[in-house]
Amino acid sequence: MDVTVRPASEAELPELLALYGELNPDDAPLPRASAEAVWQAVAGQRGRTVLVADALGAVAGTADCLVMPNLTRGGRGVMFVENVVVAGAFRRTGVGRRLLEAAVRLGEAEGCYKVQLLAADDEYVHAFYEACGFSALAQGFRRYLP
């Protein structure tokens, strides 16, 4: 399957919202005006790139990448990857792997010393990330806010 990974555009906001609905099905849909305001903030954020995977003319997946400047490691940044999701119809077709490869290349191009992500407590997801070259090297901690 031919998959192209590229930065998302505002015109793809409905497709992104549908993917995020698959990622977090319990979340209430974000109203269009709110989504547009958030998109403007994301699009204007330095170091932020929302990648989309285009397969068969559809937005098949996405990964949100953020480069954080860093005063350690010789001033090399850290890339955080969040909201990685592949549409159900495109899972196990290489779309996710292509998204992560593109994220890593983006991190390299930005001079980052590492690409970091958190994963749900799911053996399948962990195996996928490991197959893509990521290692489970640290324990992550979260504190959800109200």
- Is 13 within the bounds of a domain? yes
- Is 136 within the bounds of a domain? no
> Cβ(54)–Cβ(62) under 8 Å?
no
> Cβ(65)–Cβ(51) under 8 Å?
yes
Percentages (nearest 5) of helix, strand, coil residues in the chain: 40, 25, 35
User: Is pLDDT above 90 for 62?
Assistant: yes
- Is 139 within the bounds of a domain? no
- Is 83 within the bounds of a domain? yes
For residue 32, which amino acid is it? R
- pTM for this structure? 0.94
pLDDT digits (tens, 9 = 90+) for 112-127: 999 999 988 889 999 9
pLDDT of 121 reads 84
CATH code where residue 44 lies = 3.40.630.30
Contacts for 111 with CB less than 8 Å, ≥ 6 apart: 76, 77
In the beta sheet, which residues pair with residue 117? 81
CA distances from 77 to 34, 72, 84 (A): 30, 8, 20
Adjacency order of strands within the sheet including 114-117 = 3-7, 48-55, 58-68, 78-86, 114-117
User: Is pLDDT above 90 for 88?
Assistant: yes
pLDDT digits (tens, 9 = 90+) for 15-42: 999 999 999 999 999 999 999 999 999 9
Domain coverage including residue 9? 3-131
**Residue 30, class by beta-carbon neighbours within 10 Å (0-12 exposed, 13-18 middle, 19+ buried)?**
middle
> Cβ(50)–Cβ(38) under 8 Å?
no
User: Is pLDDT above 90 for 139?
Assistant: no
- Is 141 within the bounds of a domain? no
- Is 114 within the bounds of a domain? yes
Average pLDDT on 6-11 reads 97
- Is 44 within the bounds of a domain? yes
| Domain tally, the chain | 1
Q: Residue written as tokens 């906001």?
A: 13
- Is 106 within the bounds of a domain? yes
